[in-house]
Amino acid sequence: MTDAVTRSKRTPLYECHLRAGGRIVPFSGWEMPVQYTGIIDEHMHTREKTGLFDICHMGEFILKGAGAEKDLEHLFSRKVGDMLPGKCRYGFLLNDKGTIIDDIIVFKVSPEEFMLVVNAGTIDKDAEWIKKNISESTVFADISESTAKLDLQGPLSADVLKKCIDPAVVEGLKRFSFTDVSIDGVKVILSRTGYTGELGYELFFSPEFASKLWDKLLVFPEVKPVGLGARDTLRLEEGYSLYGSDIDEDHTPVEAGLSKFVSMEKDFIGRAALKEQEASGVSRVLTGFICEGRRSARSHFRVMDGSRDAGEVTSGAFSPCLKKGIGLCYIDKGLAVENREISLMDGKVQIEAKVKSLPIYEH
Amino acid sequence: MIPGELKYTKEHEWVRMEENEVVIGITDHAQSQLGDITFVELPDAGKDVKQSDSLATVESVKAASDIYAPLSGKVTEVNTSLQDTPEMINQSPYGDGWVCRVDVGDKTELDGLMDAAAYEEFIKGTSS
């Protein structure tokens, strides 16, 4: 590999993180803050007040042109034709086998223009796949480098935004909707979306204003910076899948229990494979679990039903809200029953746990 | 921040000599690197341990790490309060967050451990 491939990238907020006491770790080719004051503290702050996350590493694409909608209908697991402009939809890019290339959010600007928000580690792969599968008239642009993203998440996030923009705009913004706003003269696409299970918003804007908006939002006493560590525990309590851990090109949305984000009544890449899988049935499915104590299973622990191997853990961590180990695992379908007792093991540790449907943390 | 009277290992354990016994814990640097500690698996009292064997396990929110025996000997007492309040290691790594006491067999093993100055240099070398 060359230096250009191995050198980590920094977001425009790198210096802000150092100033805020952030501990920097490598993540998907980026140097990102894993925590500031501590994962548990930041997690609880997001559940109780509001957290601010630097998500500049994630990717954004634009698809434009008269055929953009038709192309996306073919590429994306859910319908886009029936979306109103200003709406967002979560779904998948699938390959011919029906397994997951990426989980993304589609923003419909108009029938001829869409923004796609994709994972950081899959930007190049997704771009290649999309370019290969769109018509010549559709213009594809990777705007990741010229797009900064901040997530403002937590029960007080709307109140904070109301101090920054017209409160009526905040009130009117429904879940999975977006709108253009201006914060202190900075043009921002504001969406009511997130990855924490809390009321929350995502802000997309030009990177030159990243530290300006970061500093502005942190002036509010109810807002604290939150790192990727708590982002992971927050999403795990909800049971949201993480691409590369819980979902990947070895699993389909059917196995991942995410069929509701697939519209089988339309045609798209991967549909035939999913249809076949639905007919034949899947042997393992993704489900949540709660450990009996504070110790958590970690990814790659085996799931045991007595002495029989019955699956694999894909995510595991300590849940700050439940004060127990929690996680996600692929498990033999017959065992995916609420409260079913299972053992989670690696070479030296055995942890007793119970199956939990999602969300893992009910609130 | 690094107590002068203790001895240290490259795996970031500390040792305090008390008569024939030593008290063992992990350093402030170690707890800070681990982040919030959520679970500690303690050895059984009476267990014989050899230097560098796994002695205990500490888990943080995201990962599990071993604590290695700085010296050979017999575990005489463990800090059971860590079972309910593992965060004590974060709050007081050299005090209430101690892990266990060991009756030392071979005291010459102590000579292989670092003093505070050497440990400080060691940390500087590993965290650049």
Instruction: Quick: pLDDT tens for A64-75.
Output: 999 999 999 999
CA distance A107 to A163: 25
Same-domain check for residues A42 and A84? no
Same-domain check for residues A45 and A98? no
Strand A223-225 to A50-54 pairing:
parallel
What is the predicted pLDDT for the residue at B128?
Answer: 46
Nearest CA in chain A to B33: A23
Q: What is the mean pLDDT of chain A?
A: 96
What is the predicted pLDDT for the residue at B60?
Answer: 95
Is the CB of residue B53 less than 8 Å away from at least one CB of chain A?
no
Give chain A's domain count.
3
What is the predicted pLDDT for the residue at A6?
Answer: 60
Same-domain check for residues A82 and A119? yes
Of B35, B63, B64, the CB nearest to A35: B35
Of B41, B59, B61, the CB nearest to A39: B61
Same-domain check for residues A123 and A184? no
Confidence of residue B127 (pLDDT cuts 50, 70, 90): low
Same-domain check for residues A179 and A126? no
What is the predicted pLDDT for the residue at A1?
Answer: 40
Helix, strand, coil shares, percent, chain A, to 5? 25, 35, 40
From A72, A99, A134, give the residue that closes a domain. Answer: A134
- Judge contact between A353 and A292, C-beta under 8 A: yes
Same-domain check for residues A151 and A52? yes
From A134, A156, A181, give the residue that closes a domain. Answer: A134
Structural domain includes residue A77: yes
- Judge contact between A361 and A322, C-beta under 8 A: yes
For residue A221, give the CATH number of its domain. Answer: 3.30.1360.120
CATH of B7-122, one of 1.10.3080.10, 2.40.50.100, 3.40.30.10, 2.40.110.10: 2.40.50.100
Q: Which of B29, B36, B60, B82 would you mutate first to test chain A, the one with the most A CBs within 10 A? A: B36
Question: How much is the ipTM here?
Answer: 0.88
What are the angstrom distances between the C-alpha of A19 and each of A30, A123, A220? 18, 29, 17
Is the CB of residue B66 less than 8 Å away from at least one CB of chain A?
no
Q: Which of B32, B38, B60 would you mutate first to test chain A, the one with the most A CBs within 10 A? A: B38
Is the CB of residue B128 less than 8 Å away from at least one CB of chain A?
no
Do the Cβ atoms of A295 and B61 come within 8 Å? no
Same-domain check for residues A153 and A52? yes
Same-domain check for residues A52 and A155? yes
Same-domain check for residues A166 and A49? yes
Is the CB of residue B38 less than 8 Å away from at least one CB of chain A?
yes
For residue A289, give the CATH number of its domain. Answer: 2.40.30.110
**The domain containing residue A353 runs over which residues?**
283-363
Is the CB of residue A32 less than 8 Å away from at least one CB of chain B?
no
What backbone phi and psi angles, to 5 degrees, belong to A319? -90, 115
CA distance A360 to A238: 6
From A107, A134, A161, give the residue that closes a domain. Answer: A134
Nearest CA in chain A to B61: A318
Q: Tell me the pLDDT tens digit for each residue of A166-218.
A: 999 999 999 999 999 999 999 999 999 999 999 999 999 999 999 999 999 99
Q: Which of B33, B37, B62, B91 would you mutate first to test chain A, the one with the most A CBs within 10 A? A: B62
Mean of pLDDT values over A87-102: 98
Mean of pLDDT values over A303-327: 97
Confidence of residue A3 (pLDDT cuts 50, 70, 90): very low
Same-domain check for residues A63 and A52? no
Do the Cβ atoms of B62 and A295 come within 8 Å? no
Q: Which of A25, A35, A301, A318 would you mutate first to test chain B, the one with the most B CBs within 10 A? A: A318
CA distance A169 to A179: 8
Residue A182 Cα, gap to closest chain B Cα (Å): 38
Mean of pLDDT values over A130-146: 97
Q: Output b/e per residue, A136-175; b: 16+ Cβ within 10 A.
A: eebebebebeebbbbbbbbebbbbbbeebbeeeebeebee
Contact list in A for residue B39 (CB cut-off 8 A) is 293-296, 318, 325
Q: Which of A40, A234, A301 would you mutate first to test chain B, the one with the most B CBs within 10 A? A: A40
Location of structure tokens 């079972």: B83
Do the Cβ atoms of A40 and B36 come within 8 Å? yes
Same-domain check for residues A219 and A361? no
Confidence of residue A4 (pLDDT cuts 50, 70, 90): very low
H or E stretch at B107: none
Is the CB of residue A293 less than 8 Å away from at least one CB of chain B?
yes
Contact list in A for residue B56 (CB cut-off 8 A) is none
Structural domain includes residue A306: yes
Residue B61 Cα, gap to closest chain A Cα (Å): 5
Q: Higher confidence at residue B19 or residue A126?
A: A126
Residue B44 Cα, gap to closest chain A Cα (Å): 16
Do the Cβ atoms of A318 and B61 come within 8 Å? yes
Same-domain check for residues A322 and A304? yes
Do the Cβ atoms of A294 and B38 come within 8 Å? yes
A 200-229 near B (Cβ less than 8 A): 229
pLDDT at residue B1 greater than cutoff 90: no
For residue A130, give the CATH number of its domain. Answer: 3.30.70.1400
% chain B with pLDDT above 90:
89
Cis peptide leading into residue A359 (ω within 30°): yes
Contact list in B for residue A298 (CB cut-off 8 A) is 63-64
